[in-house]
Structure 1
Amino acid sequence: MWAAVCLALLILSASALANPSCPTPKSGMLNVHLVCHTHDDVGWLKTVDQYYYGSKNSIQLAGVQYVLDSVVRELKEDPNKKFIYVESAFFFRWWDNQSQDMQNTVKDLVARGQLEFINGGWCMNDEAAAHYNGIIDQMTLGLVKLNNTFGPEARPTVAWQIDPFGHSREQASLFAQMGFEGLFFGRLDHDDKNTRWANKTLEMVWQASQNLGESAWLFTGVLPNGYGPPGGFCFDILCHDEPIMDDRRLHGYNVDKKVNDFLKAAQNQAQGYATDHIIMTMGEDFNYQSADMWYKNLDKLIRYVNERQTNGSKINVFYSTPSCYLKALHDANITWPTKTDDFFPYASGNHSYWTGYFTSRPALKGYVRKTNNFLQAVKQVSAMLGLGQDPRLERLKEAMGVLQHHDAVSGTAKQHVTNDYAERLAQGVAESFELVAEAYSKLQPDISGVEETVEPVFCPLLNVSSCPVSETSSAFVVTVYNPLARPRQYYVRIPVPEGVGYKVTDYKGDAVEVQLVPLPESLLNIPGRNSTAKHDLVFLAKDIPPLGFLQFHVKKSANIRIYKEQMSSVHVPTGSGEMELVGKNLALGVDKDTGLLKSIGVVTPNGITMVKVNQTFLRYAGMSGNNHNEDHRASGAYIFRPNGTSAQEISAKANITIIEGPLLFEIHQVWTPWVSQVLRVYMDQLVLEMEWLVGPIPIEDGIGKEIVNRVVWPDIVTNNTFYTDSNGREIVQRVKDFRPTWQLQNLEPIAGNYYPVNSRLILSAGPDVSAAILTDRSQGGTSLDHGHMELMVHRRLLHDDAFGVGEALNETAFGKGLVVRGKHYLLHSYFATSKDCDFGCLHRSVGEHIMLEPWTGLKTSLPANVHLLTLEPWTDGSLLLRLEHMYEAQESATLSNPVTVNLQDLLVDWKILSAVETTLSGNLLKKDENRYTWNVDSAHHDNHISSSQCDSEVYEYDDEFSVTLNPMEIKTFILTTEKSTTLF
């Protein structure tokens, strides 16, 4: 049963849902909920700092501190006024600068329901390019700070995603698992919105998981005007609409006109909604810097509109909030339509598909994913060593929180803002590495096997195969950390100079086999690369313990014989026809005439079975245009609009060099000086690693270009169907030129079929044949024909698309176009079934390793289908733990089954005194969760798994701390611990 526990963290009761401050609607009338709000981007046209302080107003007139100053003054003067605020990153910067008196005033406003926090994350995150790990972290960061500062009155119950450019199913599922009651957003496909408006289905119950049942249901509403007010009713200092002039002595008196216009707007809006309640968003970007302008006019609007009721008007208007509006909808007790797919892609017009940002700024997207990996490792180390909530760790968490913003990881900010984002990540990583170094210094004498202190060094430029320590030192120690909850092996690659051999020994002093692999010439020529490294020193780190590390000693050897023995065989194939390269498990077939991949196969005791596959890089020409209308829409940071109906060859052939050795073989391919790739097969692995290098993309011809990696499986017939992940978790079916909820008229047959690919794109030709391509960052992808896989890897464009950025997406570095390096991983189901691991097992396990690249931290390994998602220091010495079932129902014959884990067996050196389960975001006891239930249309009911199946073991655990996870479940716990042994 539940153990007694006392925590400093305020855990909230669901009773906070009963908001006594909600206005009382009038029966028999159309009740109009006015929601006063501001949308404050955490960086976009200006940096986070510039937005907060209101500097650089020549770019945009926006200062967040003035919004909060101004709103609080207005709310304090009138208890009837309300306001909602979203972005915790801005709020807590403002809060920390306030006097105690002002803080007390704000607490009173929150307690009275006048100031309501909505969403509550560190930012309003993107939903296409953000990984679920980053989404959960940034939401937790903001929600828990609100919890600890204000208590139950501040717990947000409504998600508010008003500005992201499309909406994912997983995002809705995560919100539901965090205890949110509903979600409102502003952007969806223009044709989808028109259809829903006509059918009164703009509000629905989103059944957001095909695995979790009702626990992932979320009431979802589409806002009527994006997130702005009806036309003519913007009363902000930034707006140009006429104020309400109510002095009859003035020639400008306009009360009658304003009231008539408002009544008409309300009646028109009611045509698209199903109840006698409608919501009107009274605010826009960075509104309310002078809040009195808004409130003075809204006071008049409420007064004069409601006075019309004496003349028979059936419209009632009042200040409200999204949570009050949601309560009114729930109280209406009607039956709602449902939705099971997502809201991608978003199109604002016939030629404006917002699918380019799925790939925009690929270097930043890769940096965000790498930094997330590092953050999870730092949190784990800090937790296991009892380091607490160190400010340096908090700063990295905050930097990562900012980067989840829908103009950050999305790649849709101005260049100087993007530079600021990257700098924030770099500073956060540098400070957190100091924390890691301190922890390392405590452990190092016990584990290094040497008496002298070894100063740890972090190599942040491995993306260009550069590391000064390994290039210049005669001896060094390599520490390999495993953030996964089970043992793993990992091929270590260390940049080293040429002409030198190396001796590598493990912690036992045993020699480790190594291979020196020449770096590709195109990598050596990257602009700005300043490195002596010409090779990678490669060796296999075996059996790295879960949440643990191994160390390897590396010494240079002057023996030329050792150098020659370790060097890979390098040759350029001659002749024609197809050649095969064979490893222990995987074989590749390459056409010697074109240098292109032609087949891939599995090696078994009975021989080699090859599967046909073609792969190459192609380019789309970016559409130029003046954006005066849809026909002239340009391809830009948001919009993908190719000029033409197909991608063009970059080159018909690639020059190739073959690299072979005992640990791996590689094929170095060069199409042009700006497009190259390494096909890499490690001897004992079942995945083809494809390391691409693209840039500087040439623009001398005046044409922007968008580069794609296309893989074609000639024997896979897919009937226009393919699958993509949703934020790295559940898989969503896609059908070319089709939308489940409306009749698609696609005038952009390429861009209109692009979807966000956060981790994988899958093809299936029935139960026996499947293929997958996995990514190391978020990208746009599609399947435009049978057996086709296509991922966009880089974009360089010469025109803005006129959606606000005001700049062409033309990234440069060192005076040339930006060069980007990344990886794809190619899998085929035949490899899995031949090795006693089905396809679901293969692509999920590979995906976990990509997500988290690499003293024993765990007593025992977690089961193969359980991922340790989070382990971090929490309040008052406690720990936050999240365990995740990685598999969907029926995805794997064995690993999709429920699994039980004993929490007490997890952590070395720590005894768990109690484990309290919370919602996903850690700010509400799971046993106190009591979300709204909704009546849904049984004809469209799509509850794949009953809630009882998923929730049967949520609340009670036996004395053994046993936890059962069903497919795709994430369970979150606050652990109270004590040290069971002496670590140092």
Structure 2
Amino acid sequence: MKYKERIVIATIVTLLVLFTLTLFKRNDISLNSEQRERDICEPKHSYMTADWTVDSIYDNLNFTVNSKDGLYTVVEKLGFNTGHQIKHSEPLRIIVVPHSHNDPGWLWTFEDYYTIRTRQILTNTIEALNRFPDFRMIWTETVFLDRWWKESPEPLRLAFRDLVQKGKIEILSGGWVSVDEATTHYTAVLDQMIEGHLWIKEHFGIYPNISWSIDPFGYSSTLPYLWRKAGMKDMAILRIHGAVKGFMGNRKMLTFNWRQPWDKNGDHDIMCHVEPFTLYNIECSCGPDTEICKVLDFSSVGSFPDNDQPINFGKNRRARNFEDFAELVVGQYKQKAALYKHNVILMPHGDDFRYIESYDFQTNYENMKRLMDYVNKKSEWNIKMEFGTVSDYFNILHAEIKKSKLKDVSLTGDFFTYTDKDNEYWSGYFTTRPFDKRMIRELQEYLRATETFMSLIYVYLLQNTDSMPLDLDSDWEAIQLARRTHSLVQHHDAITGTSTEGTVIDFEIKIYEAINSLIEIIQKRVTNILSPGTRTNVADLKLTRELPSPKSNLEVKTISSTSDTSSLVVLNSYSVPRTEVISVYIDTYDVEVFDSKNKVVPYQVSPVWLNHYTISQHEYQIMFEVNVPAIGFSVYKIRRRSLVINHVVKPNKKDKSVFSNVISVKGKIDDKYRLFSINKDEENSKVDFIVENNFLKLSFIKATGALHEMCLKTSTKYCTKVAVDFFRYFGNNSNAYCFNSNKLEEDLFLKADSVTLITGRFMSQVKVHHKLFSHSVTLYHSNSIQGQTVHIENNATLLTPEEENTELMMRISTNIQNKDIYFTDSNGFQMNRRKPRKNLPIGANFYPFTTMAVVEDTDTRLTIHTAQPLGVASFTPGSLEIMLDRVPMSFGKGLDEPVTDNKPAISKFILHLEQFRDHHITKDYRQYQMQPSMTSYIINDLLQNPVISLYSFTSVNFKIKELSFLNSDKLPCDISIANFRSLLTESGKFIGTGLTFHKRVTSCNVHQNENICSGTHELDLNSLFKDLTLEKVSQMSLSHLHEVRNEISRVVIKPMELESFQFRWKT
């Protein structure tokens, strides 16, 4: 072979090798990309595998007017009769379950209910169950058990525990309370469940395994996952839409397997039983004829007469004797059984606060026993009737399913919005008393921060210092009390705002005391760690916010000191480092700001407003950007360059650049000392004004101050209509529970008193004031994630009689072509698909909105993040309506008073606009489960976990300037810390730290300004925390009841799953 030929062949071979290597390399990159998407991105072809979705049921429903005073009656609607087909070889099993529904606050306060009713119920239960061995009782509210246990003598405690362990008293759900399922955040639900479950385990040595949730006003799709993950195999519910009950009963679907939309294989299915009739009282439990069933309410109507005596019921109805009446009751049982697939029915026998007196136990037992004995002897009826627990019912049910191999259908979705009567949709409580909903979320924020820092500071000081601070035991007790207050107000008559005004005041006092106790703990313990070795129990630090009274919102405190320097400690309880603009109020603007490395930090001075037009002359808002590590803090210094003289400092002309520019677009501004550059905008000018930063450009309507366009200044250069407006509904048929208004007053912005534009180095803001509300839109000039979003804050002020029967709304309108489909969160855990149903009333179209709502089309997504639970709806393409406050004046649903105790109600939102990288078109909604982007998750996390700032009122030189407890790079960004708590014994002894992680699934099909982080296959628990020495980590069941794996170091968490761990520290 010639030399040239060899050269050519060598060259070709070389090129082939390079091409092959390149190909392999590209394949490797592709695999890495695919692996990343498997780890953190939503599946491209995920499919809901349940037999039914709640949406599909609604699509098949024919909503008609009901004949029985508008009340939904399942059997009436379906034309059922007594023809239940009982298998001749096996009797119909009827399990009669005595129960007493005890609300820890509703018409009365928790203390009043306990003192007057619940204490006697629990005590008399012991006597009755020992006297009547086959009688039973169920219980759900651990908060009442805790109070009774503390007050009861040891013999009573032992007797109660014995009945629980024998199964004669069954503890159901086991949470601290029976939670609301619409307005609660899943982390709060989890926290109260852990609190209750650990109490039950410590005092009774049992694990609750059935959820009993018969009174919440609609049901979440997320909570069944929590119950199942916590070890519950079955659940029972009641309050779902009456027409939906009819549809399900007609198809024998009132027992079904509840499936998560993302759970393809049904690994977390939970068997759910639905009670078919209106309420859980006796008259609504035995069958559709309430007049017959009411006779069985022996505490109210008395005992059965003698066998040969007639039994009167209803207005003009009579059974000739006991035997005839028993046959009527059996007919009711058969009609109820006709709604179920299986040959067993659950028969709740009780009501609110039943079985107070010993007589109640005796008369109900003796009369029901008489009926049971008679029915059981009638062999031709083929019925076996007995007292039992909910576990007894489900055990028989599962045994029959196993034997018959007749499985129940699976269903995905939630049961909102609830109604039991024509046009009376229970969506008002999504917003009722928004002041309290916001304060409960504030309590959650402070509890989370205090739990996190108290636990880690305690371990840090224990391992790194020779002396511990004084009085730590009282801090643990205070944390436990605050935690239990937070758990209490998750109840379905607390956070919902559906209690009497007196009870609401009691809840507000408890929240106020809890927040202030947590603030005190933070102040003391942060002081301790900044100066390790000090044992003082006096805080050198104070929070920059305070809660002056139970009826007040948290207020910003002004840093006032004769010292020339104040330290500002910024805490971050979130698991990601954060860079953001914060603000403090101070009594002088003539300052210098230094970071933890003693570098000068630029700042902006903005006015503090005494009202919507008057600028304070004695305090100033100082704004600057901070960098705070994950689960840590940074110390900043604010040095006064001149002291305040007579509370007024004349402006220094050379520093005018730090002052905000204030423009009066509409109305007047009173700035007596002219510290700010005040400009009056040209009147009658119709030109929009612009506010922008490096990421966004916002356009506002000059005449009203309303936002109406939003532009992305990133590579896409995209603009879209994002218009904000306010309006209100009127109507005199709404109550605390139900929204039933339909008259409109639009364009409230046109009646605004003032519009003000404030611009500066770190923040620009538009402020609008109306007599019913104040509204601000803020854009931060930061290159962090904070600068990529629009921040909205409202303060609703429906405080005068003129606002009666008002429902105040904020609407966000866009030109997004979402084809009427939008999404709302389910307790902050996952997203649910929604669509307006124009055949139903307005109130039927509002849904719970606890963390975020989304409208999107094939190109664009707008997410609205909320810092408090409210109601949301969508009636036109691309729009969302948010209910901000309401003054319902009608009575109803058991609460015989209007809601007139309104207070200024602050609501906070963030708007986040994103564009998709690729068009996504899904014809079948089962193939598309909306997932937020990673950026969107982080934005929401930052909103729910705000930084906390503390200042020193004396000049203090702290030893530590910056500290982080978390190796944030060891925690993948798709894994969040859902629960962080100090694990305490009932006596208050610290035994470790409990953490629950959530592996979230994200949408990777959006343009993001940050690099999408890579998911990791394993989570290394041993390297998670810095400067703290672990003894061991154990994997626990979700609510920490039992150990799953001991001595675990690495763990794999599956997408969407929650997993709990216990961290034991070396001491």
Q: How many angstroms does 1:782 deviate by?
A: 1.1
1:649 equivalenced with 2:747 (yes/no): yes
Mapped contact 2:163–2:169 kept (Cα < 8 A): yes
Task: Give the distance between the partners of 2:571 and 2:479, measured in 1 at CA.
Answer: 18
Equivalent residue, structure 2, for 1:712: 813
1:721 partner letter? I
Equivalent residue, structure 2, for 1:380: 452
Q: How many angstroms does 1:250 deviate by?
A: 10
1:724 equivalenced with 2:824 (yes/no): yes
SS state at 1:611 partner = strand
User: 1:536-555 residue pairs with structure 2 within 5 A?
Assistant: 536-542=621-627, 544-555=628-639
1:240 equivalenced with 2:309 (yes/no): no
Mapped contact 1:237–1:293 kept (Cα < 8 A): no
1:857 equivalenced with 2:1001 (yes/no): no
* 1:692-724, Cα deviation, whole Å (9 max, x unpaired): 122135543x7521111101112x111111000
SS state at 1:336 partner = coil
Q: 1:965 aligns with which of 1053, 1060, 1063?
A: 1053
1:285 equivalenced with 2:346 (yes/no): no
Q: 1:319 aligns with which of 387, 391, 394?
A: 387
User: 1:899-978 residue pairs with structure 2 within 5 A?
Assistant: 899-926=1017-1044, 961-978=1049-1066
Distance 1:26 1:121, change over 3 A: farther
* 1:251-273, Cα deviation, whole Å (9 max, x unpaired): 99953244223212211111111
Greater C-alpha Rg:
2
Mapped contact 1:898–1:966 kept (Cα < 8 A): no
Q: 1:157 aligns with which of 194, 197, 209?
A: 209
Task: Give the distance between the partners of 1:841 and 1:290, measured in 2 at CA.
Answer: 57
1:509 equivalenced with 2:598 (yes/no): yes
Equivalent residue, structure 2, for 1:6: none
* 1:107-151, Cα deviation, whole Å (9 max, x unpaired): 211121101101111100000010111100001101110001111
1:789 partner letter? L
Mapped contact 2:94–2:346 kept (Cα < 8 A): yes
Q: 2:777 aligns with which of 658, 679, 685?
A: 679
Q: 1:305 aligns with which of 369, 372, 377?
A: 372
Equivalent residue, structure 2, for 1:828: 913
2:351 partner letter? E
Distance 1:295 1:272, change over 3 A: farther
2:934 partner letter? C
Q: How many angstroms does 1:35 deviate by?
A: 0.7
Q: 2:898 aligns with which of 804, 808, 812?
A: 808
1:692 partner letter? N
1:488 equivalenced with 2:542 (yes/no): no
Task: Give the distance between the partners of 1:793 and 1:698, measured in 2 at CA.
Answer: 16
User: 1:693-772 residue pairs with structure 2 within 5 A?
Assistant: 693-700=795-802, 703-714=804-815, 716-737=816-837, 745-746=839-840, 748=841, 750-766=842-858, 768-772=859-863
Equivalent residue, structure 2, for 1:395: 481
SS state at 1:349 partner = coil
Q: How many angstroms does 1:106 deviate by?
A: 1.2
Q: How many angstroms does 1:215 deviate by?
A: 3.9
Q: How many angstroms does 1:908 deviate by?
A: 2.5
SS state at 1:347 partner = coil
Mapped contact 1:466–1:495 kept (Cα < 8 A): no
* 1:662-708, Cα deviation, whole Å (9 max, x unpaired): 101111123x22322111000121100011122135543x7521111
Task: Give the distance between the partners of 2:745 and 2:272, measured in 1 at CA.
Answer: 38
Mapped contact 1:904–1:911 kept (Cα < 8 A): no
Q: How many angstroms does 1:608 deviate by?
A: 5.3
Task: Give the distance between the partners of 1:337 and 1:659, measured in 2 at CA.
Answer: 58
Q: How many angstroms does 1:508 deviate by?
A: 2.3
1:240 partner letter? S
Task: Give the distance between the partners of 1:249 and 1:349, measured in 2 at CA.
Answer: 37
1:596 equivalenced with 2:706 (yes/no): yes
Equivalent residue, structure 2, for 1:331: 399
1:773 equivalenced with 2:864 (yes/no): yes
Distance 1:586 1:888, change over 3 A: closer
Task: Give the distance between the partners of 2:295 and 2:125, measured in 1 at CA.
Answer: 14
Q: 1:223 aligns with which of 275, 279, 292?
A: 275
Distance 1:504 1:251, change over 3 A: closer
Task: Give the distance between the partners of 1:636 and 1:522, measured in 2 at CA.
Answer: 32
Q: Which structure ranks higher in relative contact order (CA pairs < 8 Å, sequence separation ≥ 6)? A: 1
Task: Give the distance between the partners of 1:668 and 1:247, measured in 2 at CA.
Answer: 77
SS state at 2:525 partner = helix
Equivalent residue, structure 2, for 1:477: 567
1:751 partner letter? G
Q: How many angstroms does 1:403 deviate by?
A: 0.5
Distance 1:832 1:690, change over 3 A: farther
* 1:159-186, Cα deviation, whole Å (9 max, x unpaired): 0111000000011111111111111111
2:427 partner letter? T
Q: 1:201 aligns with which of 253, 272, 283?
A: 253
Mapped contact 1:238–1:287 kept (Cα < 8 A): no
Task: Give the distance between the partners of 2:874 and 2:1062, measured in 1 at CA.
Answer: 43
1:711 partner letter? I
Distance 1:78 1:895, change over 3 A: farther
Task: Give the distance between the partners of 2:1050 and 2:233, measured in 1 at CA.
Answer: 29
Distance 1:846 1:40, change over 3 A: same
Mapped contact 2:722–2:814 kept (Cα < 8 A): yes
Task: Give the distance between the partners of 2:347 and 2:134, measured in 1 at CA.
Answer: 17
1:825 partner letter? I
Equivalent residue, structure 2, for 1:688: 790
1:689 partner letter? H
Q: 1:74 aligns with which of 128, 134, 144?
A: 128
User: 1:787-798 residue pairs with structure 2 within 5 A?
Assistant: 787-798=878-889
In structure 2, the gaps of 5 or more residues are 1-86, 313-319, 460-471, 643-648, 665-680, 919-930, 948-962, 985-989
1:485 partner letter? S
1:649 partner letter? D
Task: Give the distance between the partners of 1:116 and 1:523, measured in 2 at CA.
Answer: 57
In structure 1, the gaps of 5 or more residues are 1-24, 55-62, 625-633, 739-744, 813-817, 927-954, 980-984
* 1:564-613, Cα deviation, whole Å (9 max, x unpaired): 33320111343222222221222111122332212111224x79543222
User: 1:841-880 residue pairs with structure 2 within 5 A?
Assistant: 841-854=934-947, 855-861=963-969, 862-875=971-984, 877-880=991-994
1:803 partner letter? K
Equivalent residue, structure 1, for 2:426: 354
Distance 1:106 1:197, change over 3 A: same
1:512 partner letter? V
Distance 1:643 1:116, change over 3 A: same
Task: Give the distance between the partners of 1:105 and 1:688, measured in 2 at CA.
Answer: 59
Equivalent residue, structure 1, for 2:97: 35
1:70 partner letter? N
Q: How many angstroms does 1:491 deviate by?
A: 2.3
Distance 1:892 1:533, change over 3 A: farther
Q: How many angstroms does 1:336 deviate by?
A: 0.6
1:93 equivalenced with 2:180 (yes/no): no
Distance 1:886 1:557, change over 3 A: farther
Equivalent residue, structure 1, for 2:468: none
Mapped contact 2:589–2:622 kept (Cα < 8 A): no
With 206-215 and 779-788 compared, the bigger mean Cα shift is at: 206-215
Distance 1:75 1:895, change over 3 A: farther
Mapped contact 1:26–1:316 kept (Cα < 8 A): no
Mapped contact 1:501–1:566 kept (Cα < 8 A): no
1:198 partner letter? N
Distance 1:369 1:82, change over 3 A: same
Task: Give the distance between the partners of 2:554 and 2:873, measured in 1 at CA.
Answer: 31
Equivalent residue, structure 1, for 2:523: 437
